[in-house]
Amino acid sequence: MAIVEDCWVSEPSDLQPVMAAAKTPQSTSPPLDLVRVLEHLPDGVALLGNGYTIQWANWQMGEWCGRTSLQGCNFFESLGNPEILGPELHASTSGGRSSSTMLRTKDNRYFHVHASAVFAAAASAEQPSDAEGSLPVSGQVVVAVWDVTHTILEQQKRALIHQAGQKLADLSPAELADMTIAERIELLKSNILHYSKDLLQFDVVEIRLLDQQTGRLESLLAEGMNPEAEARILHAQPANNGVTGYVAATGRSYFCNDTTKDLLYLEGCTGAKSSLTVPLMLHEHVIGTFNVESPEPGGFSDTDLQFLEIFSRDVAAALNTLELLVAEKASTAAESIEAIHGAVALPVDDILNDAVNVMERYIGHDADVVERLQRILRNARDIKQVIQKVGEKMTPSSAHTQLRQGESRRFIAGRQILVVDSDEQVRAAAHNLLERYGCIVETARDGAEAASMVRAVGGEAYDVIIADIRLPDMTGYELLLKLQDILGTVPLVLMTGFGYDPGHSIVKARQAGIELVLFKPFRIDQLLDTVERALAIPKPVV
């Protein structure tokens, strides 16, 4: 409150209606009826004279200062000489100027103080004034004081929560380079738990992340939760999935003030009487939920909700940063594995082809040589399998886009496929594309090698054989006849470029029951669809 030329300036005080009487000049103390009103205000009021000396103060000021009488005391000394956080407090009796400041006491209480001249005493020209910025020598100043500790501490806590949230995934490049993906995840979880307990003072915490494809809420972090609750399968649905499923489905925070009466609540922590759940939001999209629980009914306030929502936004940002880092590392790992595999896949196939050819010549002659050749075959195949498994470990499926896409092709994972083509690029592409989806791929350069490879696998027959219709030594149809002598039923897919089929292999093969044809150049989805269709053909009962 301030008086400026009889116009009231708005201040957060209850004093405006009653201070009008204080404008009456030649009064050394407030009127009796005004005193009664001021005594019962929830805010502090004091009348100061020269040198910040208190001439009168209401009951609330005495309560804050710990004294029943403040008359004759220095205003600042009465409050324990607090730290002045704003401008110096002053009020001029000439022109009715006023001022405000903020005080912080030694016990960490905050007071907003507003000083305003009540009236100007008749001061002679001889009367000196105090130093600049101090109260006037003559005249009186009314000081209104508000305890704003709660507001200031809330503001400080909000800032601390935001700073803590920004530090969740704040790592230097050197630290990131030395940490595995699992270590980064564990560090993030540890930081979230630390700030949840020490800063937010939440002892029971559960964070679940939303799988955008399945709608399932996967547990990321659970502290103080029952093992059964942590393992509970939940989906982002508003019904039959507890408060967590409701929040994930609606994107709205949820107070559960009494767990015994809330139909949505599913037990999380033993003895919990209330819970607070907020969505993890990233760019207006729900990516998970953050749930805290309390053993007290109504254990959470609107302030707790605000704090948790602030922290949850930073948690969501940190999780997104981590996901990007994981995806980046996964892509780098995938590229490295594909480069290594691409460099060794075809040479290993050459070893397999050569070993099979040599083995066929020695069958029936030298059993020891045959056994050694079979060992070479096994080792060569193991080399490719080891590289593929290492790649899967280095490239987490949760972060790698290609593998996520490959989840819909699980039917072909682990299937053995032989690709027969004289073009090295086609054979390399077969390795790269099919092994990305978990297939076991081997290649041959011509029909003779293909027949040898089929004979060599013995009981571990190829699930699908993809062959070009024009091989260096025979047509696709001739290869079919050759393989039928070995296998009986051949799971064959023929390939041709732009429909070119001078030997009518496709027509003859179809007459023999082979319906699947792949036209080059083909897209990855066409290749995968054709392989799946070949795998779906029922095998004859032997």
**Residue 162 CB neighbour total at 10 angstroms:** 14
What is the predicted pLDDT for the residue at 412? Answer: 84
Write down the pLDDT at residue 172.
Answer: 60
Confidence check: pLDDT of 9 > 60? no
In this prediction, residue 262 carries a pLDDT of 93
- Residue 182, classified by CB atoms within 10 Å of its CB into exposed (0-12), middle (13-18) or buried (19+), is exposed
The predicted pLDDT at position 234 comes to 95
pLDDT, mean of residues 261-268: 93
Q: What is residue 235's DSSP assignment? A: E
In percent, how much of the chain has pLDDT > 90?
Answer: 24
Using CA atoms, how far apart are residues 533 and 23, in angstroms rounded to an integer? 96
Query: Can you give the C-alpha Rg of the chain in angstroms?
Result: 41
Which of 64-73, 235-244, 494-503, 521-530 has the lowest average pLDDT?
Answer: 494-503
What does the mean pLDDT of the chain come to? 77
> Which tokens in the block code for residue 87?
């401008």
First to last CA, the chain: 99
What would the two tokens of residue 419 be?
Answer: 């690709």
Secondary structure in 3-state letters for 385-418: HHHHHHHHHHCCCCCCHHHHHHHHHHHHCCCEEE
| Structure-block tokens of residue 51 | 């040198």
Residue 288 phi/psi, 5-degree rounding, is 170, -165
Q: What phi-psi label fits residue 173: left (phi over 0), alpha (psi between -120 and 50 degrees) or beta? A: alpha
Q: Domains (ranges, CATH) in the chain?
A: 2-147 (3.30.450.20), 156-326 (3.30.450.40), 406-542 (3.40.50.2300)
Distance set, CA 170 to CA 162, 174, 188 (Å): 13, 12, 10
d(C-alpha 196, C-alpha 193), whole Å = 5
Give 416-482 as a DSSP string. EEEEE-S-HHHHHHHHHHHHTTT-EEEEESSHHHHHHHHHHHTTS--SEEEEESB-SSSBHHHHHHH
Contact assessment for residue 490 and residue 484, using Cβ atoms and an 8 Å cutoff: yes
More confident residue, 8 or 121: 121
By C-alpha distance, which of 361, 395, 398, 357 is closest to 376? 357
Predicted confidence at residue 327, as pLDDT, reads 52
Whole-number pLDDT of residue 22 = 44
Looking at residue 1, its pLDDT comes to: 33
Q: How confident is the model at residue 128 (pLDDT cuts 50, 70, 90)?
A: very low
Q: How far is CA 442 from the centre of its chain?
A: 41
**What pLDDT shows up at residue 521?**
76
Report the pLDDT value the prediction gives residue 342, as an integer from 0 to 100: 61
At 467-484, the pLDDT tens digits run: 998 899 998 889 888 888
pLDDT of 161-180, one tens digit each? 777 766 666 666 566 566 66
Name the helix (H) or strand (E) containing 38. helix 32-39
- Per-residue pLDDT band for 27 (boundaries 50, 70, 90) equals very low
Q: How far is CA 317 from each of CA 39, 103, 432, 495, rounded to the nearest angstrom?
A: 51, 36, 34, 48
Out of 26-30, 125-129, 327-331, 448-452, the most confident range is: 448-452
Q: How confident is the model at residue 130 (pLDDT cuts 50, 70, 90)?
A: very low
Check whether 240 has a pLDDT greater than 90: yes
Is the bond preceding residue 521 a cis peptide, omega within 30 degrees?
Answer: yes
3-state DSSP assignment of residue 306: helix
Q: Give the span between the Cα atoms of 37 and 32, in whole angstroms.
A: 9
Q: In the structure encoding, which two tokens stand for residue 78, read together?
A: 């009465």
For a pLDDT cut of 70, what percent of the chain falls above it? 72
The answer to whether residue 364 scores a pLDDT higher than 90 is no
pLDDT in tens, 82-120: 999 888 887 665 555 788 999 999 988 989 999 988 754
| Distance from C-alpha of 52 to C-alpha of 80, rounded to nearest angstrom | 14
Which neighbouring-strand residues pair with 117? Answer: 141
Lowest mean pLDDT among 34-38, 386-390, 489-493: 386-390
Q: Is the pLDDT score of 502 beyond 80?
A: no
**What's the pLDDT score for residue 30?**
56
Beta-sheet strands, E only, within 105-150: 110-119, 140-147
The single residue listed with the structure tokens 């000396």 is 53
- What is the rounded average pLDDT of the residues 257-286? 93
H or E element in which residue 7 lies: strand 7-9
Angle between helices 524-536 and 424-435 in degrees, nearest 10: 70
Average pLDDT estimate for 500-515: 75
Asked whether 414 and 324 are in contact (CB, 8 A), the reply is no
Non-local CB neighbours of 231 within 8 Å, separated by 6+ positions: 219
Query: Do the Cβ atoms of 206 and 268 come closer than 8 Å?
Result: yes
Which tens digits make up the pLDDT trace of 181-215?
677 777 778 888 888 887 778 899 999 989 888 89
Q: Read off the pLDDT of each residue in 380-392 and give the average, rounded to a whole number.
A: 65
Helices (H), 123-241: 149-166, 173-178, 181-198, 227-231
* Nearest partner of 431 among 304, 316, 439, 189, judged by Cα: 439
User: Average pLDDT of 343-367?
Assistant: 70
Query: pTM for this structure?
Result: 0.47
Q: What is the maximum span of the chain, computed from C-alpha positions, in angstroms?
A: 133
Higher pLDDT, 385 or 318: 318
Q: How confident is the model at residue 16 (pLDDT cuts 50, 70, 90)?
A: very low
CA-to-CA separations, 44 to 13, 38, 55, 79, 114, in angstroms, rounded: 10, 9, 14, 12, 11
Q: Is residue 272 within 8 Å of 259, Cβ to Cβ?
A: yes
**Nearest Cα to Cα of residue 305 among 262, 253, 269, 264:** 253
Q: Which long-range contacts (CB under 8 A, 24 or more apart) does 179-182 make?
A: 181/325, 181/326, 181/329, 181/396, 181/399
Residue 315 has pLDDT above 50, yes or no: yes
Rounded to an integer, the average pLDDT of 520-537 is 84
**pLDDT tens column, 432-481:** 888 878 888 888 999 999 988 888 876 567 899 999 988 999 988 898 88
Enumerate the H helices of 284-301 as residue ranges: none
